[in-house]
Amino acid sequence: MRLDKYLATVGVGTRSAVKKILKQKQVTVDEITVTDGKLQIDPNTAKVKVGEQVLNYQANYYYMLNKPKGVVSATKDQQKTVLDLLGKKERSQKLFPVGRLDKDTTGLLLLTNDGALSHELLAPKKHVAKVYRAQIAGGVSQETCSAFAKGISLKNGEQTKPAQLRILAVDLKTQKSEVEITISEGKYHQIKRMFGAVGMRVLELKRLQMGSLKLDQNLALGKFRPLTENELADLKAQTK
């Protein structure tokens, strides 16, 4: 890997900033001062320092984001994206969201630059479960739960896979229900369409879990953090 690319990848700065740092003779590779960004290095074995700071190379990055409303799950868009919520360092890591949450849906979103893991987590054959909490306009009953357990026929004729629907609370006065739903596929607007097919409407939707990865309840809306070693190991184990 070129030294200048390495420096940008680990978050030292933009290309112009990296060029400036090299010119100022602030970078050493294996204790030798280097000014040429074209120098090829082994990122896994080279000891690279900027000043007195030793840099640590990481090929892949994994973050948990508590997505707020009003941002889209994309890397580029005319509207505000989930990447706009990140810091300068994280935005340089070529991250992308694993799957999508609708603009008005909140909760757990995995961000990574690991294309292989993303593909495995989203592959239909893996049946990676996703858990949501929703507020529904309508009185959800056990009959509704039974219908979801068999799979719902959507209005366009598509059939969903069986889903687990659990009633948390029903307010008879307001005719609103709080539910938890677990699905193992990711059709476009799937949960909203499933409830629409049974004559109900989703008012609020929040993702709580994707596979083994659970939303950190201490993570505020719009905030993110790296996955722990255990969280990442458990997530990868599901794709094997």
Q: Which residues are catalytic?
A: 102
Q: How far apart are CA 88 and CA 86, in angstroms?
A: 7
Q: How far apart are CA 123 and CA 240, in angstroms?
A: 12
Backbone angles phi, psi at 87, to 5 degrees: -80, 170
Instruction: Evaluate whether 78 touches 44 at the Cβ level (below 8 Å).
Output: no
Count CA within 13 A, CB hemisphere, residue 198: 21
* Cβ neighbours for 104, distance < 8 A, ≥ 6 positions apart: 69, 70, 205
Q: How far apart are CA 102 and CA 68, in angstroms?
A: 10
105: left (phi over 0), alpha (psi -120 to 50) or beta: beta
> 121-130 burial, b for 16+ CB within 10 Å, e for fewer?
beeeeeebbb
